[in-house]
Amino acid sequence: MLKFFARYKTFAVIFFILSAIIVFAIYTLLKPQKRLPVYQPDMVNAELVDSTVQFVRKYHKIGNFQLINQNGDTITQNDYKDKIYVADFFFTTCLTICPIMTDHMVQIQEKIKNDPDVLLLSHTVFPVTDSVPVLKKYAEDKGVIDKKWNLVTGDKKQIYDLARKSYLATKSTGDGGKYDMIHTENFILVDKKNQIRGFYDGTNPEAINQLMEDIRILKAEEH
């Protein structure tokens, strides 16, 4: 009996390994790939969405834009073509949620700095004071990597329209005068098709961890 088992020992080991590989392959093929939702305006809190797009149920995308970054360069949708990116809204003199959000953006930048597929985009909501030189100093103080992260300023109405009509991220319309400002903690994940794939509390470390995981899922999905 012992001779019998000794004779077929190698065969049994090989059979076991092949069986394990086959079972794993079948499990992998049958297991559905996790996918992120594609957010439409009618899926978001109506207070955060402009009335002109509030009831849109499909095909929503981030609108075209033309803004100026911390280096005085014109930034448009083309600079984010075929890229995944994280967008937010801030202003340099904010003393409440913005410093926390910016610190979290710095952490994200560190994690994606060698990933050519992922970029960052921060819009100032106080362009009357956040000029190019102000944004440049802020960027230098925070360690912004220019090729990864644009801090942009420009026409206030365009920025606020982007916030409500494209990113679906704020209650304020910006029509209340010079000091009527967006104050949103939202980070928005945008895919390579300019679609919104996630919203995250930019002040919450756990939400940032989820954002990083969702970037991984989105990259796998798009590949």
Distance between CA atoms of residues 90 and 174, nearest Å: 14
Min mean pLDDT across 170-174, 176-180, 204-208 is at 176-180
Entry pTM: 0.83
Lowest mean pLDDT among 63-67, 128-132, 179-183: 179-183
| 12-34 residue pLDDT tens | 556 556 555 554 444 444 445 78
| Residues paired with 150 in a beta bridge | 121
What pLDDT shows up at residue 1? 52
Reply yes or no on whether the pLDDT at 74 is more than 90: yes
Q: Please tell me the predicted confidence (pLDDT) of residue 175.
A: 58
Task: Identify the CATH number of the domain defined by range 41-222.
Answer: 3.40.30.10
Q: What pLDDT is attached to residue 170?
A: 83
For residue 68, name the pLDDT band (cuts at 50, 70, 90).
Answer: very high
How high is the pLDDT of residue 222?
Answer: 80
- Per the CB < 8 A criterion, the answer to whether 179 and 65 are in contact is no
The stretch 55-63 carries a mean pLDDT of 95
Residue 90 φ/ψ, nearest 5 degrees: -155, 180
Radius of gyration of the chain, Cα coordinates, nearest whole angstrom:
23
What gap in Å lies between CA 130 and CA 69, rounded to an integer?
A: 11
pLDDT attached to residue 19: 56
